[in-house]
């Protein structure tokens, strides 16, 4: 079964901002690798979303909301 993935405008803006910050701190190539990896991780949710825990805000919404943590903390 394939699940629908919806990325909020806030999440998309935060990912773009993280890409820009990373490209300034490291290199454009590293930032691109990070961003492409993020997109692949998000896409992987369409096949196996329940491997990720429910988000804290799930209790306040009518749709099931899960969270996927990506990367290695501040690095």
Domain boundaries defined on the chain: 1-75
Q: Give the HSE-up count for residue 58: Cα atoms under 13 Å, Cβ half-sphere.
A: 9
Question: What is the Cα–Cα distance from 63 to 75, expressed in whole angstroms?
Answer: 32
In which band, very low, low, confident or very high, does the pLDDT at 32 lie, cut at 50, 70 and 90? very high
Average pLDDT, the chain: 91
Task: Specify the pLDDT at position 74.
Answer: 58
Report percent pLDDT > 70 for the chain.
96
Span 68-72, average pLDDT: 85
Separation between Cα atoms, residue 25 and residue 53, nearest integer Å: 31
- pTM beyond cutoff 0.85: no
Q: So what's the pLDDT on residue 14?
A: 95
First to last CA, the chain: 34
* pLDDT of 41 higher than 60: yes
């Amino acid at each position: 079964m394939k699940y629908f993935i919806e990325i909020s405008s806030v999440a998309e803006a935060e990912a773009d901002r993280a890409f820009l910050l990373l490209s300034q701190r490291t290199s454009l190539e590293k930032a691109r690798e990070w961003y492409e990896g993020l997109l692949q991780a998000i896409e992987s949710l369409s096949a196996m979303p329940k491997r990720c825990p429910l988000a804290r805000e799930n209790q306040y919404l009518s749709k099931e909301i899960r969270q996927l943590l990506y990367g290695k903390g501040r690095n």
